[in-house]
A and B are shown apart, each in its own frame.
Chain A
Amino acid sequence: MTEKISTVNPDLDPETWVDQYGDYLYRFALTRIKDPFVAEDLVQETFLAALNGRESFKSRSTFQTWLTGILKYKILDFFRKKNREQAVDDIDAVDETVDGFYHNNGSWKIRPGKWDLNPSKTYEQNEFLNAFFKCLAKLPDRLARIFMHREVEGLDTEELCKAFQISATNSWVMLYRARMHLRRCLELSWFNKVEEENR
């Protein structure tokens, strides 16, 4: 894909999106969701969302990056819906706070286990990524979103405060909680560590 600096922008004609970005987005979705039909649907939803939200596209990112950004949230939503179908109680049961992880004196009650992992090997596995998305989708919505914004899009504190209309301190607390629950969920579902509660 060649970058055109100003002048005519071919991205203004939505119909051309399919040929230009369709395959890329499809592969992106398929890498993360194995089902070709679901992947197709998500690409279609992405285009639809892009069509409706064209004004919010800022040329500081490429159009492909922008579309991919939308797709990532569609993927997250997909896992969220799937979780909801599987276990309704489970989702609502996630307590946003982290107090339960510690004793009153601040020592660990649910201790972080040792994750024996070789990152480059672990995250190459699709099943692992699957588990990661599922756990992400189990988080309360705003925690999942702030985590995505911070760790996937790489927004900084100032940008997060603007996006969520919160204070800096608040953003750090939310990220802390998101990370805490995410790591715990992965520990249970993937690393399958022995419970060490209540020693």
Chain B
Amino acid sequence: MSHWMFNCKKVSHRVSESMDRNLAPHHRLFIRIHLLMCKYCAQFRKQLLFLRETARFIEYPPDDLETSTLLSSEARNRMKQMLRT
């Protein structure tokens, strides 16, 4: 069996893992070398980073909507009533 740095499956797993913990420096080096040689794994990594960016967007405040967008008074009353009991 050859070294894991030549195996896309193993490299991509570690690419994902590198987003959750610090890998050893030589592991990072192996990954970097593989990514230079393999465009699919490089694209895979870019996609994961993009997922992360998108997920963070979910967290953003809803500032693109007019602040005049308000709950209807019916909904407001209904909810108050629900919370009162």
Q: Which residues of A contact B (CB under 8 A)?
A: 14-15, 17-19, 22-24, 26-28, 30-32, 40, 43-44, 47-48, 51, 72, 98, 101-102, 105-108, 111-115, 117, 119, 122-124, 128-129, 132, 147-148, 150-152, 156-157, 168, 171-173, 175-176, 179-180, 182-183, 186-187
Contact = CB atoms under 8 A, between A and B. Distances in A.
Looking at chain B's contact residues, the main secondary structure is: helix
Interface residues of B, number: 45
A171 B69 contact: no
Looking at chain A's contact residues, the main secondary structure is: helix
A101 B72 CA distance: 48
Contacts of A43: 71, 75, 79
Contacts of A186: 47, 51
Contact of B78 (A44, A72, A123, A183): A44
B20 A183 contact: no
A129 B40 CA distance: 25
A27 B58 contact: no
Contacts of A17: 83
26 contacts: A18-B71, A18-B83, A26-B70, A26-B75, A27-B67, A28-B62, A30-B69, A31-B62, A44-B75, A72-B58, A102-B9, A107-B9, A111-B43, A112-B41, A112-B44, A119-B50, A122-B54, A129-B57, A129-B58, A132-B54, A151-B55, A157-B21, A168-B21, A183-B47, A183-B48, A186-B51
Interface of B: 7-10, 12-13, 16-17, 19-21, 40-41, 43-44, 46-48, 50-59, 61-62, 64-65, 67, 69-72, 75-76, 78-80, 82-84
B20 A157 contact: yes
